[in-house]
Amino acid sequence: MSRLAMFGGTRTVDADAGASPAAAWPIVTDAEREAVLRVLDSGRLTSVERGEVQLLEQEWANYSGVRHCAALSSGTAAIELALVATRLEPGAEVLVPAFSFVATAAAPALRGFVPVYVDIDPVTYTIDPAAAAAAITPRTQAILAVHLHGLPCDMDALRALADRHGLFLVEDAAQAHGATYRGRQTGALGDVAAFSLNASKNLPTSGEGGLLTTDDESLYERVVLHRQFGEDLTGRGERAYLSKVIAGNAKLSSVQAAFTRCQLARLTERHEQRDRNVRRFLGRLAALGGIVTPRCPDDRTHAWFQLRLRFDNEKMGCPDVAPGALRTMLQRALRAEGVPVRPYQSLPLPAQPALRAALPPDRPYRPEDHPTTLAVIEDSLTMQRWHLNPAAGPLLERCADAFEKVWDQLELLLPPARSMTYRPLWQTEVPAAHA
């Protein structure tokens, strides 16, 4: 048995693997270079009519199976404008999962709405419809359904709940381009949806960007108004400089739209190869005792934006080791072998210092309100980025070798895990900064 790298043995995955072309993301080919240069040479750099931005909007609307798409400056802006354009009342409550990226809750808070945090489902890690039902009050006006890691939420249950209470159903599909629920694309599953085009995402741009999709024409028109200074720029002729609502600037540039159009042309083909690579990798990991690999219910497809791995201390034969301590030792051992595992989200959203400071006084943060979120944070790690590249198959095989090596010698990790002083971040009060 070869010695673990953390104890001086040879690492399983090459040190430069992360910088290799097989792990690169986004993939930049001559198509992207030429498209970007074409825009630069055209002189049409802003979102001019019938330019790259409008073409991207049309193509994404077609791909998603919706009537309208608006290109925006970020996924966060897309969530903000989705909520603004649904015309929620000031102070309206928006149900959000307690487990997500901070923008899911910051977007409603920035627009004067109140995020109300709901625990997640232990299998899908997405908002639990039963817990969402229990969180509804007379002030609730929307549900923000986050397709976390690329797996669509239980949208039928959420739709039924929204309809029963007259709520808007908004998709945060920032991580879920191309995933499907009962044969329909994300982006077409709620009243309105927000996607991120950040360079790390499955459908990236060369920096920051976002897309908003909806079938609702008047909602779309309000988004367009809010994306550019409240001006109606759909008519022909001279710009009138007439602002109909107070609004900022959340446009996407032509260069970025051109880059994303090239990525979109390869989205399906890359997804199919990624799906094969990831399933093979997860299959090898699932054979190791105690690793809970992501599950994708039969009625959905997964975009595999991130791969979350939970570690079951009972099945690993060490129920006495705190999940967080076990996870910390596994992270050290796997990273020493060259596997880039890392936590993704170390706090439930309401425990984020900024969001915690904004909680209504009658609803302080209580860890016991979101037990599944806390359990997942404590006992899991994620794989990010490498697996997005369709050429990453052999690299993932090496990563699986590393997991097998560590699992063969798990007993060596248990004494340090037992003796370490471990304190979860959510038990530490970090003050919010003064704005």
Residues that bind ligand PLP (CB under 6 A): 74-76, 100-101, 103-104, 146, 172, 174-175, 196, 198, 208, 210
- 197 or 326: CB nearest ligand PLP: 197
Q: State the nearest-atom distance from the C-beta of 237 to ligand PLP, in Å.
A: 33
Query: 42 to each of 63, 225, 379, how far by Cα in Å?
Result: 27, 26, 52
- 74 or 185: CB nearest ligand PLP: 74
Q: State the nearest-atom distance from the C-beta of 306 to ligand PLP, in Å.
A: 9
Q: Which helix (H) or strand (E) holds 335?
A: helix 323-337
Q: State the nearest-atom distance from the C-beta of 303 to ligand PLP, in Å.
A: 12
Q: State the nearest-atom distance from the C-beta of 190 to ligand PLP, in Å.
A: 14
Nearest to 144 by CA among 123, 122, 124, 167: 167
AA letter at 347:
L
DSSP states along 216-285: -HHHHHHHHHHHBTTB---SSSS----BSS---B-PPPHHHHHHHHHHHHHHHHHHHHHHHHHHHHHHHH
Q: State the nearest-atom distance from the C-beta of 390 to ligand PLP, in Å.
A: 21
- 137 or 346: CB nearest ligand PLP: 346
Beta strands in 10-139 (DSSP E): 68-72, 93-97, 114-118
Q: State the nearest-atom distance from the C-beta of 175 to ligand PLP, in Å.
A: 5
- 76 or 293: CB nearest ligand PLP: 76
DSSP collapsed to 3 states, 208-234: CCEEEEECCHHHHHHHHHHHECCECCC
- 39 or 146: CB nearest ligand PLP: 146
- In this structure, are residues 212 and 234 in contact, taking their beta carbons and an 8 Å threshold? no
Give the count of beta carbons closer than 10 Å to the beta carbon of residue 428: 9
- C-alpha–C-alpha distance, residues 22 and 12, integer Å: 17
- 54 or 384: CB nearest ligand PLP: 384
